[in-house]
C-alpha cells in the first residue's frame, strides 16, 4: 500500500511524505504506482523548478518528501499540494486498498 502523509500548518498543506508500493499489479505494470509516481514527480518539479518556491525535497528508496521552507511563490505551491492531495484521493477511491492518506499538524 502507498502511504501519503500530508503535513498541515493551520489549514494549509505545506508538505508531504509519500512511500510504499500499491501492489495493484506486477512491478512495471502497476498503473496505480505509475500514476502516483508521476503525480509526485510533477508536483515536486512544478513547485521547485517552475514556481521557484523554496522547498526541501528528498527521495530515498521508495519515499519522497517535500516540505515548503520559504515564502516566495508559497501560495502557488500550496495550490499544487492541494491538487496532489485531490488527485491521490480520487485514485484511492478508484483503486480501493492501494493508497492510504493521512494528515499531520506541524
Q: Please give the model's pTM, rounded to 2 decimal places.
A: 0.95
C-alpha–C-alpha distance, residues 5 and 75, integer Å: 20
State the pLDDT at residue 90.
98
Q: What element of type H or E holds 45?
A: helix 31-45
**pLDDT tens-digit map of 56-94:** 999 999 999 999 999 999 999 999 999 999 999 999 999
Give the per-residue pLDDT at 28: 86
In a 10 Å sphere around its CB, with 0-12 CB exposed, 13-18 middle and 19+ buried, how is residue 17 labelled?
A: middle
Average pLDDT across the chain, whole number: 96
Quickly tell me which residue has 478508484 as its cell: 94
Q: Domain 2-100: state its class.
A: alpha beta
Average pLDDT over residues 19-39: 94
Half-sphere exposure in the Cβ direction for 12 (13 Å, CA): 11
Q: Between 61 and 28, whose confidence is greater?
A: 61
Q: How many angstroms separate the CA atoms of 8 and 33, rounded? A: 24
Strands lying side by side in the sheet with 99-105: 55-60, 63-68, 12-20, 2-9, 99-105
Amino acid at each position: 500500500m502507498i502511504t501519503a502523509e500530508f503535513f498541515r500548518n493551520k489549514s494549509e498543506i505545506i508538505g508531504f511524505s509519500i512511500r510504499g508500493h500499491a501492489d495493484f499489479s506486477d512491478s512495471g505494470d502497476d498503473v496505480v504506482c505509475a500514476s502516483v509516481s508521476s503525480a509526485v514527480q510533477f508536483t515536486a518539479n512544478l513547485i521547485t523548478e517552475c514556481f521557484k518556491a523554496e522547498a526541501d525535497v528528498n527521495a530515498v528508496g521508495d519515499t519522497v518528501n517535500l516540505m515548503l521552507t520559504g515564502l516566495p511563490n508559497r501560495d502557488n505551491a500550496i495550490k499544487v499540494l492541494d491538487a496532489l492531495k485531490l488527485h491521490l484521493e480520487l485514485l484511492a477511491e478508484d483503486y480501493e486498498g492501494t493508497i492510504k492518506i493521512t494528515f499531520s499538524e506541524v
